Every structure is written in structure tokens, then in C-alpha cells.
Structure 1
Amino acid sequence: MKGRVALLACLVFLSVQVFGLYVANFYQNVELPYGLEPLPKKSALGFLVSGVILFTLLFFSLRRFKVLLRLWFFIAIFSVMSVSLRAFVDELSSAFVAFWLAVMRIKEDDLFLHDLTEVLLYGGLVSLLYPSFSVLHVIILLLVISVYDIVSVLFTKHMMKLAKIQLKTKTFAGIFVPRSRGFAILGGGDLAFPLLFLSVVMREYGYGVVLPLAFSTLSLFLLIRLGKEKKAYPAMPFLTSGLLLGFLLLQLFQYPPL
């Protein structure tokens, strides 16, 4: 059973990464839609780390204001899905489809729809971020987020409290994988930060991105397959290890950059 759950989780994880990489690659030579601009390069790292902290504080502060929290979440997922879908259709059509999917995501309790929108939205989010990051800066970000993940899951445990608030208010960012009892859950950060790293690597090394993608997926499989079913684990340290191992091999093979 754990092997099946691990495979399903890896399949959805891979879907997010591959779709997101396609979207990120599309925006390498195309301007962002709706007048959007990437983050300023000088402040991108600090902005994103601060954003993670503010995101956490926002959810805890607004946990009693369910309608307001869901409205903010709706606007967020609608916006980034619009950017993602613009890689396939025109701006008006992408906004229309994204609006409909965001409404259904908030309204319906449908597992497939939830995970489908998760696959669609991270490419748009990362396309706003990765042009502002160098390889060094995104590696530093991975290490900082991994330490934060360890502290928030194993020590302060506020990450589990945050997940409960999101589940209760139907604003959970992440994927669900059915298992014998309940679900295996992979948070939004565990999808977005690897995609950000992979997008930067793809920009610099082209198809060499396959190596860190493969090793990060393998690390996720081992985490779910070998971990205890009812215990929460910080996924980012494992994903970061896989990403950096794949990147190290990329350097050793001296894969030529594009």
C-alpha cells in the first residue's frame, strides 16, 4: 500500500514539475501577461523568505475570518493559474478558464479537481520568480527553507497547525494522495520550491534539468515509502538533498549549458 501511495505522490509531483517547467520555459522568450513583471533581482531572495513568514502569519491571523481568507486564496490561485494557462491560450481565455477552475476549487470538495488545479498553478507562480534568481541564490533559498521546514514540523510544530487551518477553511495549498486511512499530503512549498530551483537550472543548463528532477522524485519516493504512515515529516530537506545531488552530478558530467 505504501508503495502505491509513494508512486501516486511521485506521479503528481512529477506532473507539477514537468507542467511548471513547460510554463517557465514558455516565458523565457515571452513577456509575462496582464502587465506583470518578475521580482527585482536584488531583493528576490529576501522578498521570498519574508513572504513565507508573512504567509504563515496571515493564515494564523485570519483563521477566524473564513470568508476573507477564502477570498484572498481565490484571488491568489486565480491569478497564478491565469499566468500558467496563458502558455497555451490567449489572455482572455486563460483568465476565463482560471476563474472557473478557481471557483470550482473553492466550491467543490473534489480530490481530482483539487490536485488538477495544483498541477496548473505553480508554473505561473514560479514564472514570476525564477527570472530574478541565480543558481547560487536559489540554492541558498532551498537550504533556508529546508531548515525552516525542519523547525516548523519537528520543533515548533506550527506547520501542522497551519495545515489544519487550511484544511478547515478549504484553502489548503498542496496535493492529496488517497491511502488506506486518510491521505498522504504534500504541501505547496514542497511543490513550488523544487520547481523554482529546477526552472533556474533549466534556464542555465537546458535538458540537464532532468538529473535534479529525477533525484528529487526519487528522494520523495523513499521518504513516503520508508516513513511511518501516521507521522509528519519535513519533506523539503529530502527534496533539497535530491535536487542538490542531481545538480552535483550535472556539474560532474559537465553538461553544457544552453
Structure 2
Amino acid sequence: WYIVVILVFTAFILFIIKTNKKYILHAVILFAVVATMYYVLIAFMSVVPAIILTLALAALLYKFPEWYVIDVTGILVGAGASAIFGISFEVIPTIIFLILLTVYDIISVYKTKHMIALAEGVMELHVPILFVVPKRKDYSFVKQDFSAKKDDGEEEERGAFFMGLGDAVMPTILVVSANVFLPVAYPDLPLMFGSVVLPAFLAAVGTLIGYAVLMVVVMGGKPQAGLPFLNTGAILGYVAGCLIAGIPVIPAMPVV
């Protein structure tokens, strides 16, 4: 069902972009961002400060959506989304979910290319559903003209790399899921840093390695599907962690 929801929402975004009603999409995304930021902040503070900080970030995001504002709010939103899905999916459903999304990402970027059209349409809204990595220190996301063309009709080189927020969230779901459900199935599993099981830690490391490889490939200048690199890294890291920890890759179901 989650795949169906993703497909439906993708179709909705593409429809909004093609009908030039981006203000609707802008409002929907901002509402989702504000709600998720509040969800994250309420875990660390009381209600009133969480509301105040959420509204302050929302106002800053609306009035001054510079790349560092986008990235900071993106981290908060990504953390909240990863936590929500991670505590909802057990490990094996999560891995299956990541594999399906990886296949979808490959098709949507390299075959149908509708994900590229979606990304280009959403970037103009300056909302935190992507991460911005500037190529130079004086880069301004607000001043970036995404429709600018060279004299020969080709797009001008952009001053930053862009990665969809979902590319960061999806592999992190496996990290959260492994850290939540594996200790239930294997109570004696040793913890790293006092709270992280080895498979979850190596899933995070694998994600970072996948990201490093992705950045090398992106240097070629062409849009790349991120999930094949990131999800693969996370899954391989998880598998390696299970093997090193001496537990099955497919965790046992806890006895209730």
C-alpha cells in the first residue's frame, strides 16, 4: 500500500506541476513539513516551545528559503519521517520496501524520467524535500534560476548538487527498524555507543558509503537515481552487521 500511495502522490505532484498550480503543492508540502518538524521537536521539549520553534522555522522557511535553511529543516523532517516509518516496519518488510523503491527509482529516473521532471518542478518551490550541497561558498539557492538556459539551449550549470529527501529517509528507515526490532528478538545483542545494535550501525555506515559512491557518479553531471546506491549500501551493511553479530539476517519473531 505504501508503494501505491507513493505512486498516487507522485502523479498528483506531476499533475500540479503540469497545470501550473504549484501554490497548492507548496501549501501541502509546507503543512507536511511543519507537522513533521513539530513531531520531532515535541520529543525533546514541551508543547509550547515546540510550537514556537516550529512556527519560527516555518516562517524562516517561507520568507528566507536559503540552502542552509532548507538543509536544517530537511534534517528535522527526515529524522521524523525515518522514525515514524522505522518503528512501524519490522526489518524484513523494510528491506522488501527498500528493494521495491530501488527498482521504482531506477525506472523513474532512467526509463520514464518522470522523477527528474518532478524534482525540477519541486526545486522551484524552495521547500525542504531535498538537500542542497553547494559547489561554491557564495551559492544562493534563492537566487538560483532553474529555468536558465545557455545560448545553445542547454541548461546552465547549477551551483549545487541536489539530493531528494527521500533518498536520505529510505535507507534510514532500515537503520531505525533494525535498532528497534532486533533487540526484541535478540535481547542479548551487544550495543554500540550504549544504544545502537551492530546491524543498525553498519546499515548507517553502508548508507554513507553508498552516498560517497553516488557523489562520485554524480560528478559526471547527469541526474542519477540515489536509492540504488543508498539502499544497497544500507542493506549490505545490515547483512554484514548480522553476520558479524552472529544472528540470522532474517530475524526470529519474538515470542509473545
Query: Same fold per TM (> 0.5)?
Result: yes
Q: Distance in 2 between matches of 1:132 and 1:248?
A: 20
Q: Report which stretch shifted further, 160-169 or 201-210.
A: 201-210
Change (3 A) 1:172 1:230: farther
1:8 corresponding residue in structure 2: none
Of the structure 1 ranges 172-181 and 149-158, higher mean CA displacement relative to structure 2 is found in 172-181
**Cα distance in 2 between the residues matched to 1:92 and 1:172:** 23
| Length-normalised TM-score, structure 2 | 0.77
1:109-148 → structure 2 map (5 Å cutoff):
109-148=65-104
User: Does the 8 Å CA contact 2:210/2:233 hold for their aligned counterparts?
Assistant: yes
Query: Partners of 1:246 and 1:133 in 2: how far apart?
Result: 18
Residue 158 (structure 1) aligned with residue 114 (structure 2) = yes
**Matched pairs, number:** 212
User: Does residue 195 of structure 1 match 2:207?
Assistant: no
Residues 131 and 200 in structure 1, CA contact (< 8 A), matched pair in contact too: yes
Aligned residue number for residue 22 of structure 2: 66
CA contact (8 A) 1:81 1:120 kept: yes
Alpha-carbon distance between aligned partners in 2 of 1:176 and 1:229, rounded to the nearest angstrom: 17
* Superposition CA RMSD, Å: 2.0
Identity of aligned residues (%): 25
Residues 103-252 of structure 1 aligned to structure 2 (within 5 Å):
103-171=59-127, 173-179=129-135, 181-205=158-182, 206-208=196-198, 209-252=200-243
TM-score by length of 1: 0.76
Structure 1 CA distance for aligned equivalents of residues 201 and 242 of structure 2: 13
Tell whether the 8 Å contact from 1:176 to 1:183 is kept in structure 2 after alignment: yes
Task: Return the structure number with greater relative CO, CA threshold 8 A, min gap 6.
Answer: 1
Amino acid at match of 1:223: L
Name structure 2 gaps, 5 residues minimum: 137-157, 183-195, 252-256
Write the distance in 2 (CA, Å) between the matches of 1:90 and 1:222. Answer: 40
Equivalent pair of 1:82/1:95 in contact (CA under 8 Å):
yes
- Which AA in structure 2 matches 1:119? I
Q: Which letter does structure 2 place at the counterpart of 1:201?
A: A
> Which structure has greater helix proportion?
1
Pairwise CA distance, 1:179: 1.4
**1:194-226 deviation per Cα after TM superposition (whole angstroms, max 9, x unaligned):** 121111011134332111111110111022124
Residue 67 of structure 1: how far off its partner (Å): 2.2
Q: Which one has the largest radius of gyration?
A: 2
Please give the secondary structure, in 2, of the residue aligned with 1:169. Answer: coil
Contact 2:174 2:203 in 1 (8 A): no
Deviation, 1:96, is: 2.0
CA contact (8 A) 2:33 2:128 kept: no
CA-CA distance at 1:131 after TM superposition: 2.5
